[in-house]
Structure 1
Amino acid sequence: MRADWQRLKARGNLALRRLQPRATILLITLLLTGCNSSEVPVYTTQFPAFGTAVDLSIVGIQRERAAAAAADIERDLLFFDQALYADNAGRMLRMNERLASGEPFAVPPSLLPLLTQSQALFRLSDGLFNPALGRFTRLWGLDRSNPQSNPPPSQAAIDALLAVQPSMDDLDLKDIELKSGNPAVQLDFDPVSTAYAMDLAIQALRAQSVRSALINIGGNVRAIGSRSGRAWRLPVPRASGTGVIGIVDVSGDVSLFTASSQDRNFVYQGELYHSVIDPRTGRPAEAAASATVLFEGDALTAAAAANALMIAGSEDWPGIAGRMGIRYALLIDRLGRVQMTPAMAGLIELLDTKAEQIIRVPEEDEPRSTP
């Protein structure tokens, strides 16, 4: 186990050196702007996982304890990188093979919470967040970290999968035993793998009496507490994936996640195809360019909601946001307009003041405290 981790770390360090340094420096600068760490100890580190740089800040404990906790977090994130995110992730391959057989099998304990919460989020999102669509991502060639620029699948192939409607409701989970009556079900947790790993990392830090910490993976953030008594400053990315459209200042228990057409994609004959698949059409979502969710709680809910809102698009996202309990949301539609909930509009510091802004109220919106 130790040798496997060392190999993963060495491989990741090479990947980290290949990252674009300017984007990383910009992100760290934004996070640290206006903060004075002289009064309360702040331990910061960076390491590679999930195909990008992970930035970790631990506040308020001695450096030796923080360094030991950070090493544990790095090891755990690399484990989930290989289990859920990496191309041909072993655990997911074995689970999908067993699901296709229709026979029950024992689920690894580390993945049980992911399954149960994903089923609940699937239902809250009216089925728009659907990790059972792995056969669609494979059909499109989007099941690998660097998709090839190949022709899109035929409509006949898409329709054949739509006819059998793989969904999270096809999973029968009893205690630790899982099976599926639909052989078309293939789990793909890529949209939420980092979120789940971050939630578990925050749980581990809390168990070590850490009250303030921040984990940033590729611009998606899980945070608790504050930075030396000041709010965390979190950048909200543009739909293009380059640059920042705004900044939110938050503290407490919060998660910020963005889904966009820049997520795992390829271009073929001038058309962009990305991995946020609309389960109603079997095609990459076309109704919005990106969706960002700030959630007062776990990252898994934030990531699932961001994907669901992007799929729902400019007309229907307020209804899905309301059903999923999301008050802070920002969607960039295909016309470049910035659509926001009233709560997000009151929180965000928009840097692009020329963009047209539309305020949309989530259905069944209930008052909650601002983070």
Structure 2
Amino acid sequence: MRFLSSPSTGFGHRRLILVLLLMSLTLAACREKTPVILARFNAFEAQVDVSLVGVSRDQADQASAILAQDFAYLERDWMTSGGSGAMRRVNQRLARGEPFVAPPSILPLIRLAKTFESDSDGLFNPAIGQLIRLWGFDSAPLNGRPPPTQEQIARLVEAAPAMRQIDIDGLRLTGRNPLLSLDFSAIVKSHAIDLSIQHLRNLGIRNVLIQAGGELRAIGERSGQPWRIPILHPNGSSVMAILSIRGDEGLVTVAEHDRNFMFKGKLYHSIIDPRTGWPAERTRSVTVMHDTATGAAAAARALFIAGPEDWPIIAARMAARYVLLVDLEGRLHMTRAMADRIELVDDQENSVITEPRLGVLQAPGTSLP
């Protein structure tokens, strides 16, 4: 995405078009408030919805078209499959262990991921790209295939690839593990949303919501009211709760139904515990509200892996104040801050209020097929 915050990816002539367009949007918003206009496009294998307040349908369509081009640019560089191959080349050079200059669109993601990995005690670890590919979660379709063998998984787990094995010296990167391979699919949609929000805010937009699947960020209000966001049950079948957002907040839900396959009656989802190489088993879904969508996405994934016993420890380390976790038995685990904000659709007597705390993680279990 050619954002103002990234000088190395300048707008060219499209910057002038977007400035003029968004100036007109701002002027329109100063007049009598109008209903929210929804525009949409596809990116990162998801539908992206852009909700703007106080604009016409034509203006919303123009804004959507411009943002769609920018999302396509990021998708081309950030995804490990398809696109320009920038991420594939980064992974090849990291595996060789030779210093190289990082692409300017990828280096910020690496810096962020190193911080998230450290804060999560390694539970958020996008360096396990080879494990993701071994499971087939980097491609479709998934159904009908058996899971990898224990021997295949053990080989990659024992190699212990991690973000801390990437050295950064200015713009140069060096990898220190030949089996290290980056896969940022857990945060790319959220980070693109954050860049979009910052971009629109710099250009005067004050009320907008951008959502891609279970990942979103909103600023301002929805025609004088908060943005009311539905949170689905872990199986995605119906609405479990409503959360109101006003001001500037990112919200991300990760769930077992997001990307998975069935084999011999057992569900295997794509949220891999880097300590075992297997899908995390004790959690069905996690919702996190954070200052940014990227921070929410990283924390939600780490908390999902931590599970119902350890999530408060990781929440404390990742400054995740608003958390909702649903465990295998359907119990709701929440922070007090989340309980005070959320509106449950059904009465939930089986809810647990727990505050983030310091502590030591339990050793993970390993489930064989």
- TM norm structure 2: 0.84
Q: Which of the numbers 204, 212, 225 marks the counterpart of 1:217?
A: 212
- Go from structure 1 to structure 2 and tell me whether the alpha carbon gap of 1:107 and 1:205 turns closer, same or farther (over 3 Å shift): same
**Counterpart position of 1:340:** 334
Quote how far apart the aligned CAs of 1:103 are: 1.2
C-alpha RMSD of the superposition: 1.9
Alignment coverage as a number of residue pairs:
327
User: Which amino acid counterpart does residue 254 of structure 1 have in structure 2?
Assistant: E
Q: Aligned equivalents of 1:280 and 1:327: distance in 2?
A: 25
Q: Is the 8 A contact 2:143 2:263 kept in 1?
A: no
Contact 1:135 1:186 in 2 (8 A): yes
Q: Are the equivalent residues in 2 in contact too, given 1:122–1:168 (CA < 8 A)?
A: yes
The alignment partner of 2:190 has SS state of: helix
Q: Which residue of 2 aligns with 1:255?
A: 250
1:146-182 per-residue CA deviation (whole Å, 9 max, x = no partner) reads 3243221121221111211001101111222112010
- Quick one: which amino acid aligns to residue 72 of structure 1? I
What is the deviation of 1:84?
Answer: 2.8
1:268-291: CA deviation from partner (whole Å, max 9, x where unpaired): 111111111101111111121111
Counterpart in the other structure of 1:207: 202
For the residue of structure 2 that corresponds to 1:142, the secondary structure is coil
Tell me if structure 2 keeps the 8 A contact 1:122–1:128.
Answer: yes
8 A contact 2:221–2:246 mirrored in 1? yes
Correspondent of 1:151 among 140, 143, 146: 146
Map 1:28-67 onto structure 2 (within 5 A). 39-40=33-34, 42-60=36-54, 66-67=60-61
Mapping for residues 281-320 of structure 1, pairs under 5 Å: 281-295=276-290, 297-320=291-314
SS in 1 for 2:105: helix
DSSP 3-state at the match of 1:284: coil
- The reply on whether 1:352 has 2:346 as its aligned counterpart is yes
- Alignment partner of 1:39: what SS? coil
User: Which residue number in structure 2 is paired with residue 232 of structure 1?
Assistant: 227
Q: Percent identity?
A: 45
CA distance in 1, matches of 2:59, 2:200: 11
1:93 to 2:88 alignment: yes
Deviation at 1:358, TM superposition (A): 0.8
Length-normalised TM-score, structure 1 = 0.83
- Please say if residues 338 and 355 of structure 1, whose CA atoms lie closer than 8 Å, have aligned partners that are also in contact: no
Name structure 1 gaps, 5 residues minimum.
1-36, 365-371
2:129 pairs with 1:134: yes
Output the amino acid matched with 1:204: H
8 Å CA contact 1:291–1:329 kept in 2: the answer is yes
1:74 aligns with 2:68: yes
Q: Secondary structure at the match of 1:278?
A: coil
Which residue of 256, 261, 265 maps to 1:266?
A: 261
What SS does the corresponding residue of 1:204 show, helix, strand or coil?
helix
Q: Which amino acid aligns with 1:324?
A: M
1:44 is paired with a residue whose SS is strand
Tell me the equivalent position of 2:77: 83
CA contact 2:256–2:285 (8 Å) conserved in 1: yes
